[in-house]
Amino acid sequence: MRFSTIGKWSLRAGGVITVLILLAVAVLFILINRDVDRVYGGQTGVAGHAPFQAEAKPTAITHVSVLSPDGTEMLANRTVLLENGEIVSVAPDGEVPDGMFVIDGEGKFLIPGLIDSHVHLQRSPNDLLLYVANGVTQIRSMGGSDADLALKREIENGRIGPRFYVSSTAMASATGLTSAGPDWFSGPVAIWFAELAFNMHSTSSSEQAAEDARSFIQKGYDGIKLYGFLDMDSYRAILDVADELDVPSAGHLPDAMPLSELRTTKLREIAHIEEIVKGLLLEFGSFRSQGGEAFIEFVESRKAEIISDLVANDVAVHSTLWLTESFKKQVFDLEAALAEVPLEYANPGIVEGNSVLGLGWLPARNKFHTYAGNTPEEIARNKAFWDAREEAHHILLKAMVEGGVTVLAGTDANAWLTIPGFSLHDELQSLSRAGMSPAQAIYAATAAPAQIIRNNAGIIETGRRADLVLLNENPLTDIENTTSIDTVILNGRILDRAQLDAMLEAVRETNAESRKFDLELYQ
């Protein structure tokens, strides 16, 4: 009898302990989800978009200088007619039909709407207003989600926002995800956490990778995003599917992939110039023992073959150059770097971040801020590394431009200090400083990406979608003039300067209501 009673109490105690463990796991799950939602901007208030809704109307832009279809010159005194969201005429001093809304373009310059080929919307729908207010009429989400797909449908149904290309969630191998963390970071729980915290989709075999890639496209995603944490069999299997379905593929390069494979890979777009630099660093060996000058010499010796392979295989490259150039300042002078960007427009949840996840822009949580070193020798060595790393990007970009590689202007928006919309203008200026002409930089943000994603925009000519930006200054004489925006035309809908300013103010005010840090500390 005594043993029976003890057994019953033991069972009850075990049951209670099990329930408590399950409750603790559930609470932990809720807390982790809530924190991830916050650091990706999901708990920031949403600015109203309804006040900015507009209908396309027949419009004539008169006496305007228009960027030529080849993007090399401004054609003076043109009349551009728009109807039903389309360009129906571009003519020298053309006649204006009765009943059209007229915009006087005297002294102004018309360019195609800008395209940012590499963004991360995260959980920050206010960014849609920032893009439009900055003349960005098309964005490409590199690492999309079902929420992105839902927003894409809303935009297609009239919500104000740029045209939205949504790639698949970044695909990775389960073994790759866990190998990137500490030794204890393994198993199903670690994979779940990595997928949740970093918006990735993991697979356990090349067969599953191919099947899931196909599923993403069937679900409505526009292309495939591949992350570096893929084994080579899965990487190639995914690319085979993208090639078969004739959809764009963009991604990082796995560490196991030699740069010599650039000549034969089915990958259509490399997600960053940085990916090639990382591959060169792996080939080069120890930076610490050989130093920056030797690395630059190595890059110079390898660039011709790399460019030849990219051109021969028609592989495009996303630039994300401004972000790369910002890393050194983030490492060694973060406060100054923060003061240079319009932080009031950045989603405060993304800015504040979380130190455990290695996310956040501010000094206490910005991971780059920890890379400076502790001794004079370490600091000097680390500065040499970041200097050489940046120079390698400039060498490769210049070689790409000279060699005919398709460069796509992309910003990695919502990564450290890259503020949606604003960051594309920063990127164009970085590309110009690094050797691109203004015309080449504009091409990288208009016609080049439009052609790759088959967007019927990117060029001003009859029959094209009416995604346009009217500027007060000529961007071909100074790339900074892309910021002199007078009017944005979004699929034929006219948004004047007052409306664009109201969009910016709506986001600024909403961010201020959600912000927990003192913005004045970083201005």
Q: Which two tokens stand for residue 336?
A: 């100054």
Quick one: pLDDT at residue 298? 98
Rounded mean pLDDT, 412-419 = 98
State pLDDT tens for residues 354-371.
876 778 999 989 999 888
Kindly report the number of other CB atoms within 10 A of residue 405's CB atom. 21
Least confident of 4-18, 343-357, 397-411: 4-18
Contacts of 150 (CB under 8 A, 6+ apart): none
Q: Above 90 in pLDDT, residue 27?
A: no
Quick one: pLDDT at residue 34? 72
> Chain-wide mean pLDDT for the chain?
92
Rounded mean pLDDT, 49-77 = 96
Contacts of 50 (CB under 8 A, 6+ apart): none
Name beta bridge partners: 109: 65, 471
Alpha-carbon distance of 281 to 136, in angstroms, equals 34
Burial per residue of 199-234, b for 16 or more beta-carbon CB atoms within 10 angstroms, e otherwise:
bbbbbeebeebbebbbebbeeebbbbbbbbbbbeeb
State pLDDT tens for residues 113-147.
999 999 999 999 999 999 999 999 999 999 999 99
Residues in the chain: 523
Alpha-carbon distance of 423 to 496, in angstroms, equals 21
Q: Which residue has the tokens 């504009």?
A: 442
State pLDDT tens for residues 385-401.
999 999 999 999 999 99
**pTM score of the predicted model:** 0.93
Nearest Cα neighbor of 162 from 449, 428, 406 is: 449
Rounded mean pLDDT, 457-473 = 98
What are φ and ψ of residue 323, in 5° steps? Answer: -60, -45
Q: How far is CA 257 from CA 198, 230, 272, 288, in A?
A: 22, 10, 15, 23
Quick one: pLDDT at residue 89? 97
CA contacts within 13 A on the Cβ side of 448: 24
Sign of CA dihedral 373, 378, 381, 383: positive
State pLDDT tens for residues 240-285.
999 999 999 999 999 899 999 999 999 999 999 999 999 999 999 9
Q: Which two tokens stand for residue 235?
A: 């990487």
Quick one: pLDDT at residue 4? 63
